[in-house]
Structure formats: structure tokens, C-alpha cells
Chain A
Amino acid sequence: MLVETKNLTKVFGEVRAVDDLTVAIPEGAIGLVGPNGAGKTTFLRLLLSLLQPTAGTAKVLGRDILDGVPLRERIGYMPEHDCLIPDMTGVGLVAFMGRVSGLDADSAIGRAHDVLQFVGVEEERYRKVAEYSTGMKQKVKLAQSMVHDPQLYIFDEPTTGLDPRGRTEMLDLVRAIASSPGRNVILSSHLLPDVETICKYVVILDGGHQIAAGDLHDLLTGAADRLRIDIRGDHEAFAQRLRETGFEAEAGPTGVHVGRRPGVEAEVFQAARALGAEVRYMGREIRSLEEFFLELVARNEGKGA
């Protein structure tokens, strides 16, 4: 188990930021999502032992969170906010952080260069961090979380402020780390499609509680097996034609949805040919993480939680 908590609670004054949370998170690439105020940041801070719990227990990588120092030897943290020391060079800062994690001076410099190369910081590493662009700063933040080769990476909104190219690069890096054997990633993000492409398991928090958790694929696969077809042409006529040939079809805003039965795909193309429509997309209808999430939160609010 990557993280195990039992009745974990953290109270700030009147606010129960994390409320009686009992979760069991397996190893691998984990997504952590939730609305603002759900307790994600507090939860992560508790895991890092940056905060002490008000009640309850938690274990990360098999170690109690109350024993912070040995735990943090094995965790790399990439915070959401700015946190770099402005007047140090990129390589200087990463090497320094490596030494503060316990690497000896030579290994620290060597590792710093290696990880900076991996994240894509070239000659800029010799310049002061204060002069870096946002994308470069994010990369240095990632590098400092990697330098001591931890078992668990915690990424908090890693793509903030990055332009599209920077986002792709950052997500590729996160994915490369997540797929590295023996390494685990907890990705906390508001961008649910990002979480969807990288994580296998997702934990959804709201109001300090866990409202859903599980394998992403299992959570999202609809019970009924359906196809979604995106055509250029008259959606309604298309759906009608499919119904006439005996399939249940309905036209919606994102295309035509049809119950999957043998022979439906061939019928789709026949119908397209007959109507002069173009089939632009045909695939299994899987709910997106976002739809699932919004539904879940709405239901949770309805319960008056």
C-alpha cells in the first residue's frame, strides 16, 4: 500500500480540513482530485509530515507519518507555489537540495546535472533562477523533487502557468516518472483530463472526506456498452436510420449514441453511405473523469455532506 490512513483528521480552528479520512491507496500512478476546499492540500501536507494530525493515523510507504524525517527521505515534493531560492543557479539549487536530502557533495552535483538534463534545462542551469521563465522554473521544481531519487513523488498542479508546449513537456515527464518501475506518483490537479491520461487510480475528495476512489478504468466504464459516433451530417436522421434497422440510437450534443450489438459498426457505415454523411469518430462510450467527478460532487452536495 502506498498510503493508508485511519480516521485521519486535521482541524484548523473551526474548519475540519480533513475529516475522519480512512483510505487505502495502492502503489502506482495516483490522481488526487477534488473541489477547492476539499482538503487536498492539507492531506498532502499531512502525508509529507509538514503538518501534525489532530487525530487518526496514517502510513506512507509503510511508515508512520509521525516519523517525518525517514519518510521525507523517500518522498519528492513539487509544490504548486513558487518556492525557488532566487539568487542561486539552477544546478546550484538542485545540488543543494540534494545535499540537504543527504547526498554527498559529488553525487549531489552529478545527480543535479542528470535530472536537469532529463527535465530539459540546458545551459540555463548556470544562470540564476530569478531570471528563469515560468516553464523553466517549473522544470527546476521538478528536478529538485527528483534529485534524491525518491520512491514517492507528489506533484501539486505541475502545469500551472505553462503554455501548451510546456504543458505537454511537463505531462510527458510526469508520465515517464510514473511509468518507471518502483516509483509512485500522486498527481493532484484541477485539470481532470491530465489526470485521466497519466493516472491509473484516482482518489476524489470533497469536504475532507473521500467520496470515491478506485481504478480509473473501472470507475469510468459505463455499465451499458455503448458506442459514440461523431458524424458530419444530420445527426437526427442518422439516429433515425439506425433505429429503423433495429438498433437503439439517440442523437445528443456530442454525437450519436448507440447500444453496442453485433453488426452495429457495419450498419453505421451503410447508413453513412446512404445519407452521404461522414463518420468522423466512432468509439466506445466512456465517461470522462470530469463528467464522473461533477456528477459525484453534485450527488455529495445533495446528501448535505
Chain B
Amino acid sequence: MSISLPTYTRREMPLLGRRHRVRAIITTGLRREFKRPAVLVVIGIGVGVTIITSIVVVLFAGVFLQGQPLDLSFFFTPASNGAILFFVTLMASVVGSALIADDLQSMALTLYLSRPITEGDYLAAKAAILAPMISMIAVFPLVLTPLVAALLGSFSWTIALEAIGLSFLIGSLFTAFYTAATLALSSLTRRKSYAAAGVFALTFGLTIPAEILAGPPFNNPAVLYASPWENYLAVARAAFGATGAPIDWRWSLAILLAATAIAALATYLRMKFVEVVSG
């Protein structure tokens, strides 16, 4: 390979603004994710399972949920579908754990930050890659279920529309929390496997012991505040007007919002202070 005639052409056109640059990161990132078989499988199975189970519950409400009035509070049931927790965790670890960790591992972060964007832009872009993927499981099925229920005639449109709106809100809350938490974990390590393990620990490591300690023989419901899933359930219960909450939804909401904000801030600070260049 030789350099015969160094043709060095100059660029005359002006540069596009920051929004375009961030959008470039997002679209390229999403395109790369959708090329991965693992991602497609998780989406396919995750969305499929969550939707199918929710719709089955709607169809056979009379069988599965005896004594449950067919009003707004019904929609708490699909919202509390454990498959959501499982597949959101899976999605967060398959997609999210590598988002920042890989850039730290390959040190491509230097290239990003040497571009005319800020750390905040970089983080916003990464969040905008992860959040849609998670919301495919945390929001989409939840929003689809009342729609299907209304189309089938099981519920009135008034209730259904209210359910759709509320589902969107609480699904987004859950998505925001997991996006922020996963990115925070991803920014702490070069190895995406550690970050992925962290996501699983966050979900099951907190939820399972909390649920055990909350029930007999320990009977300490306050422990449930430690579990993101239980906090989400408390808020969902309150939103849909369902009864039987072991913990106060106001505290749960506050905890989820605070945790999301703290995770986002921690990630931002980490980006600002990480030693981008070695040696």
C-alpha cells in the first residue's frame, strides 16, 4: 500500500448542531443493537410473553381473577406481571450493560469526548438508546392491554383510555429508573459482564430477600422499600386504585424518583472525572 498522490480535499460545508450529533449517536447505536441476535430474541420473547400473558388475563378475567371488579383497578394485574420485571432486567443487561462499559474497555470514550459534544450529550444519547429498548417491555405491553380489552368489548373506552394513560406513566417511571441504574452500573466498570451482573443483583438481589423478609415469619413490610419492583407495584396500585398495598405509595414514588436522579447524576459525574486517557 503506497501513498501515491495525497489528495487532501477540504471541507467547505458548515457543521450541523449538537442535536444532530446526538441523534447520530442514537441512530447508530440503535442500528447496532438491532443487528444483534441476542437483542432480537429478548425483544421477541419478552414482548411476546408479556403481551400474551396480559391478554390472556383480560380474556379469562372471570376465571383467573374471581372477585375482581372490571373497572380501572383491574389493570393493576397486567401491570404487576412478573414477566415485566424479568424481561426488563434481561433487556437492561443485554443492551445496557455494554453501552458505556464497552466504550471504557475500548477507550473509544476518548474519541467521543474529543468530538464537539459534552459529557451530558453523550449520556443523553446512551439513555436514548436504552430507554426505548426497555420501554418495549415496560410500557408497550401495558399500553396495549387496555386497548385490546376495549376492542374486545370487555371494558368501556373511558376506562381503557384512562388505563392507557396511567400505564404509560408508570411504565415510563419504571423505564427511567432502570435506564438510569443500568447506565450508572455500566459506567463503573470496563467489563460489561460485571455491569450485567449488577443489573441482576439490583433486581433479584434486592427483590427476593425483601419479599422473604416482608412475609412470615419475619413480617417486616418496611423492607419492601428496598426493592425497586415493590416500589413500582405500590405506585401502580395507587394509580389504578387497587387495594391491599403493604407500603405507602408516596414513599415508593419518592424513592424511585430519587434513585433515578441520583443514578443519573452519579453517572454524569463519573463521566466528567473518568481518566479518559491512560499513561
A residues in contact (CB < 8 Å) with B: 41, 45, 48, 50, 68-73, 75, 77, 79-88, 96-97, 99-105, 107, 111, 114, 117-120, 122, 144, 148-149, 169, 172-173, 176-177, 180
Contact (Cβ within 8 A) A99 B107? no
Q: Flag whether B276 is at the interface (Cβ < 8 A).
A: yes
| Complexed CA–CA distance, A176 and B8 (Å) | 8
One of B16-24, B78-86, B145-153, B210-218 contacting the partner: B16-24
Q: Flag whether B108 is at the interface (Cβ < 8 A).
A: yes
Contact (Cβ within 8 A) A77 B32? no
Q: A41-B277, A73-B15, A84-B108 are in contact. Are A99 and B24 (CB under 8 A)?
A: yes
Q: Flag whether B63 is at the interface (Cβ < 8 A).
A: no
Interface membership of chain B positions 7-40, coded 1 if the CB is closer than 8 angstroms to chain A and 0 otherwise: 1111101011110110011001000100000000
| Complexed CA–CA distance, A97 and B3 (Å) | 23
- Can you name 5 extra interface pairs (CB under 8 A) apart from A72-B115, A173-B3, A173-B6? A69-B118, A77-B114, A81-B278, A100-B25, A118-B7
Q: How far is the CB of A81 from chain B (nearest CB, A)?
A: 6
Give 5 nearest A-B pairs by CB, closest first: A102-B15, A149-B11, A99-B24, A72-B116, A77-B114
Most buried by A among B15, B16, B21, B115: B115
Contacts of A172 in B (CB 8 A): 3, 6
Q: Flag whether B279 is at the interface (Cβ < 8 A).
A: yes
Q: How far is the CB of A129 from chain B (nearest CB, A)?
A: 9
Q: Which residues, 97 to 156 on B, are CB-close (under 8 Å) to A?
A: 102-103, 106-108, 110-118
| Complexed CA–CA distance, A148 and B13 (Å) | 10
Contacts of B108 in A (CB 8 A): 83-85
Q: Flag whether B66 is at the interface (Cβ < 8 A).
A: no
Q: A73-B15, A114-B9 are in contact. Are A96 and B114 (CB under 8 A)?
A: no
Contact (Cβ within 8 A) A83 B110? yes
| Complexed CA–CA distance, A97 and B21 (Å) | 9
| Complexed CA–CA distance, A149 and B116 (Å) | 13
Chain B's closest residue to A146 (CB) is B8
Contact (Cβ within 8 A) B24 A81? no
Contact (Cβ within 8 A) A120 B3? yes
Contact (Cβ within 8 A) A102 B16? yes
Contact (Cβ within 8 A) A104 B107? no
Contact (Cβ within 8 A) A117 B7? yes
Contacts of B112 in A (CB 8 A): 100
Chain A's closest residue to B22 (CB) is A100
Contact (Cβ within 8 A) A83 B116? no
